[in-house]
Amino acid sequence: METELPPILNGELFSVWYVALAVIAALVFAVALANTDLFLTESVPAALEELSSAELQTTTGDGKTLKGQTLWEKNGAVIMVEAAELSSLKPQLDQLGVPLYAVLKEDLDTEVQNFRPFFNGEIFVDQERVYYGPTQRRMGLALGLVRLGVLRNLVQAQKNGYHGNKKGEGFILGGLYVIEAEKQGILLEHREKEFGNKAHISSILEAAKKINKSQ
């Protein structure tokens, strides 16, 4: 009568371990690849003319709209698209005489009210999302959750008490503009490459110091 060999002797256990290791290696490779810039949407520089003519809604309850150029035509401006954390710059910008604004893409439920405690400046809504273009860039949930930078930024935001909105178009990436007075041009344009990817404070201040005020 034949004696049946244990799995470790007939290769069955080895095959199971081989498949498990192959799956783990594939997952590690996929996560590593997701943390490169390979799957990120390339940004397109904004046109000052389009930003100038964009219709922005006030969030003070008066229902008014204004042209984008109104924000920077006299003293230039630093305009943050979504990000709230950089509002700590306001005292330094105030010393330079440069206003700080935030532009959101929508105002659903209490989104603006929830955003306001974390931003020290005026807030506007850009329903046409001109400030998110010319090509709107999105980051899907699956990609975001495997990027280490996104996870780190989400944890930091949670620690700071900011949870964001759970409705609406939450996957569009934002950015930041430093714009000179009148029609002199854009001094600095930063586009988020992933959620929470902020411009360096030193770069913002350096650009703000170059703003020439209108006469």
Domain ranges of the chain: 1-34, 48-208
| pLDDT at res. 168 | 47
Asked whether the predicted pLDDT for residue 184 surpasses 80, the reply is yes
Inter-CA distances, 104 with 38, 125, 164, Å: 27, 5, 12
Residue 141, SS3? Answer: helix
On whether the CB atoms of residues 139 and 195 are closer than 8 A, the answer is: yes
Could you tell me the pTM of the whole model? 0.73
Inter-CA distances, 17 with 7, 8, 28, 39, 119, Å: 12, 11, 16, 31, 52
Cis omega (within 30 of 0) for bond into 134: yes
The residues near 57 (Cβ < 8 Å, ≥ 6 apart) are 63, 64, 65, 107, 124, 125, 126, 127
More confident residue, 156 or 60: 60
Asked whether the predicted pLDDT for residue 39 surpasses 70, the reply is no
Share of the chain above pLDDT 70, in %: 68
Asked whether the predicted pLDDT for residue 112 surpasses 70, the reply is yes
Q: Which residue has the tokens 């100038």?
A: 52
**CA dist., res. 100 & res. 201, Å (int):** 13
State the average pLDDT over residues 23-42: 67
In this prediction, residue 51 has a pLDDT band, given cuts at 50, 70 and 90, of very high
Encoding tokens for residue 151?
């996870």
State the average pLDDT over residues 135-153: 61
- Domain at 48-208: CATH architecture: 3-Layer(aba) Sandwich (3.40)
What's the length of the chain?
Answer: 215
